[in-house]
Structure 1
Amino acid sequence: MNSPKVAIVILNWNGKKLLKQYLPSVIENSQDEGVEIIIADNNSDDDSITFLESNYPQLKIIHLGENHGFAKGYNLALKNIEADYYILLNSDVEVTPDWISPLIQAMEEDDSVAAVQPKVLSWNKKDEFEYAGAAGGFIDKLGFPFCRGRILNVMEKDEGQFDQVCNIFWATGACMAVRASYFHKAGGFDSDFWAHMEEIDICWRLKNMGFQIRYTPFSKVYHLGGGTLSYDNPKKLFLNFRNSLWLLYKNLPRRKFYKVIVVRMLLDGAAAFKLLSEGNTKGFFSVFQAHAAFYRSHKKLRKKRIQLKKIATPQWHDEILVKSIIWKFYLERKRTFREVNK
């Protein structure tokens, strides 16, 4: 039986330093049959390409012509890659031996599984989960994302508490294995997102289509995090707040739609004033700019919601927490996944 074709695709933009540090681990631990490593370059203006061509001439490079961001950059690259499975990998991820086979095996054994993520630990603190994904992503009833191993900005230590395979709501874009045919059937990432939340958006869409998103602890990677934009960067805050509202508008079932959107916007306003009280004036304005962008996008979002209904009806899912993670975190002082999920 032939091995499936697997394309590990790393999206790069001015990432020579990261490639120099993390690419060797990817090459060393990705020698499996049928596996190809591809760099998709978002028109870097450092010497990333020269570095790659000089040191790794065996790697395929896709030149995208301009900086399309994460979502559109991957969409354009993946259209030109023939594979059964894609592994989308950030350039600031160190992989470990035998990291590929558990991801692919989960999909090979179950056709209902569309995407799989590994255990994501911090590169700086190897015994801690990392912000972007940890041990699998979830959202609460108001659309706030959190993870097993990461509640808001608090990370848990990895003590084996999440060493079981399970279904999750979303897989991290830092390291996501996805069935190629399902990715394209779902329409790929929403290019308008640019970056941030696009992986939650497509995972919600895939789940609405009847597929599952899964976590496996038998694959392990270490993520630096903040390799492109720091977590408190004003642009990152803008994208997170805007894209979160877009995510909800597109995917919420009708019976939940208005209540969730209104409450979420009020909470966003509270978050903006919290940033202001902390002296983060740029962050404060990022939130309000995000809301302004959301209002301007209403007509376009409505069209998208109508189009998505042709693929699958927006639904609520078992992996959505029926409680508020904000309430649990700030008022009940819950700090671990097990505490908030009781």
Structure 2
Amino acid sequence: MLRVHFTQEDLARVRVVPTHGPLVEAMFGFRALRTGELGAVPELWRRRVTRGHPRWTAPLGEVMGPESAFDIFTLVGRTPTAAEGLESIIAMSRRRLSSEIEAAVRWRERRGLDGTRWPSAWVNLLAADVAPGRILAPLIDACHAAVVAPYWDRIQRHLAVESTARMQAIATGGIESLFRSLHPTLRWHASTLELLSRPGPPADVHLRGRGIELVPVVFLDAVEGPFWSLDDPSAPAVLFYPALSSLTGGAKIFTPYAESQASGADGGDGPLAQLLGRTRAAALTAIAGGCTTSALARRVGISAAGASQHASVLRRSGLITTVRDGSSVVHDLTPLGRSLLAGSDLGAIPTTPTPQPAT
């Protein structure tokens, strides 16, 4: 059990945040794939994501497997689009990655896990690379594209409704009502939040005025956290909790996509491919959740020039928007593009070959 202690200042800084972005959601989705604990997410989703044995699963499993305690949240924080999060991953220094690995090793030691199994040789090779983020980013991008991107609009809508309900719980019943409504394994006692499902002997943490953010995640079936920012010790702690309480809720988000006939990059002839052409339909699908032109090229398996051309056509058609962010441009769906993609019930996501660390 873990006891999280609140001061009056902490209580004033309790916030419900709808999401920390698609990459964080993808991280939890990937862990659900690895552990098989899907919660309220339909089995059809898992089968669809893993068909074809995507190449990104093995290397990501070494970095972010369920026993590594290595997570994207501490690397990117809250990022509204996948493109922003990927830029943070690309910019990650070798020193930052080493700090995360050391923290994961300490986490494993506290739980008595075998110290000879992790970090693996591949993780050590990654940590020795001068630009580890450039190796991780394509893997995380491919994972996000398969796990979250085709469903992101529906996920966002569900999370918005979920967070609104929790904020109403605060307004009607106060903090105690909020915490009691999040999950059966949480218990509020005086000024202390008890996480009953936390493994290990009883432990205590003190927020010391930093407050806490409560973030719903559709791929969780248990509470995760609290997490702390290594970059900003004064930032709020973050507690992730399950956003789905029933299989019915999961089916509303995932089933229409999972049961569809794929089109686009895998050669299908779904309705969107018939309307736009296979490559352009795959491009529209790949842009869901936001991406740069280079990321679009990787996801669809075309040249950067081809990705730019397809993006231009989709933009002129009113299906995507494009904004400049420094030296890059970021594409995202317009409401019309989201409606077209949702109505087509497709989600073909190409996979990306596994990059190897530079020697």
Q: Same fold (TM over 0.5)?
A: no
Where relative contact order (Cα < 8 A, 6+ residues apart) is larger, the structure is 2
Higher Cα Rg: structure 1 or 2? Answer: 2
TM-score range, shorter chain: under 0.3
Task: Pick the structure with more helix per residue.
Answer: 2
